[in-house]
Amino acid sequence: MRVLVVEDEERLAQNVAAILRDNALCAVDVAPDGEEGLFMACSSPYDLLILDLMLPKLTGLQVLKSYRAEGNNSPVLILTARDEKEIVVKLLNAGADDYLTKPFDLGEFVARCKALMRRGKGEHSPVIQAGPLEVDTVKRAVQVNGVRLSLTAMEYRVLEYLALRRGALVSKMELLEHLYDYNWEKFGNVIEVYISGLRRKIEGASGVKVIQTVRGLGYALRLEGEVTEKERG
């Protein structure tokens, strides 16, 4: 999953980014002001935007309104030092999905971020199943037939993204865009390597193929025989 943090307090921005990388295994980009934040938000696909309310150049509310006006639907979490009812109503009416007042509890912050990213993909339960495979997005644990699998951090991230898009075809480029930040050079067969490792571990433990490849289109987490309207057409 990929997150954009728009925060002008450098120390807080870096702390938030580090927390998300360590506790939610997210790729994180950081913007220091509203103008750059809006540009980045509209230029790349993000699974979550975290906006400070009081930003230079453009306020968080202005960024939020412009972002939604462009037709972007990714969830947005607002960080604010103000919790007056009037401000909260404005934020929610402008398209914010949630807000936190500073200072905030780090555990609550991570939990809210994870919940928003799940809901942004249409998943409400933190545990996603596909046949014998179970992905617990809170514990970051994967089980096959009740036996826990040992995955690398990147293998887990690839699998979690496919699980959150359960049944849908996900292209290699989509995976790259949602698993890496601005500094990553998107090249090589790195996704194929992770998919191969996941298949070996999952199929070795279950004998069931749950990661399907559709030539020329991408990958899907689903049981064999399941197809999408796109494939039927």
Average pLDDT of the residues in 206-214 = 88
Residue 37 clears pLDDT 80, i.e. is over it: yes
Place of tokens 């912050």: 109
Structure letter (DSSP) for residue 138: T
Instruction: Tell me what the pLDDT averaged over the chain comes to.
Output: 91
Pair of tokens at residue 200: 């070996």
* Domains annotated on the chain, with CATH: 2-120 (3.40.50.2300), 127-232 (1.10.10.10)
Sign, CA dihedral 225-156-158-100, equals: positive
Average pLDDT of the residues in 5-10 = 96
Residue 232 clears pLDDT 70, i.e. is over it: no
pLDDT score recorded for residue 186: 58
Q: Which residues pair with residue 100 across a beta bridge? A: 79
Q: Find the helix packing angle between 172-179 and 153-164, rounded to 10°.
A: 120
Residue 64 clears pLDDT 90, i.e. is over it: yes
pLDDT score recorded for residue 182: 79
**What's the CA gap between 88 and 78, in Å, rounded?**
10
Give tens-digit pLDDT for 94-112: 999 999 998 899 999 999 9
pLDDT score recorded for residue 65: 97
pLDDT above 90 covers a percentage of the chain that reads 75
Q: What is the DSSP string of 143-207?
A: EETTEEP---HHHHHHHHHHHHTTTS-B-HHHHHHHHS-TT----TTHHHHHHHHHHHHHHHHHS
**What's the CA gap between 181 and 183, in Å, rounded?**
6
Give tens-digit pLDDT for 134-191: 999 999 999 999 999 999 999 999 999 999 999 999 999 999 999 988 777 655 688 9
Vertex 224: Cα angle to 221 and 225 (nearest 5): 115
Residues in CB range of 13: below 8 A, 6 or more apart = 5, 7, 30, 32
pLDDT above 70 covers a percentage of the chain that reads 94
Tell me the pLDDT band of 88, cut-offs 50, 70 and 90: confident
Closest CA to 202 of 153, 132, 139, 152: 132
Residue 229 clears pLDDT 60, i.e. is over it: no
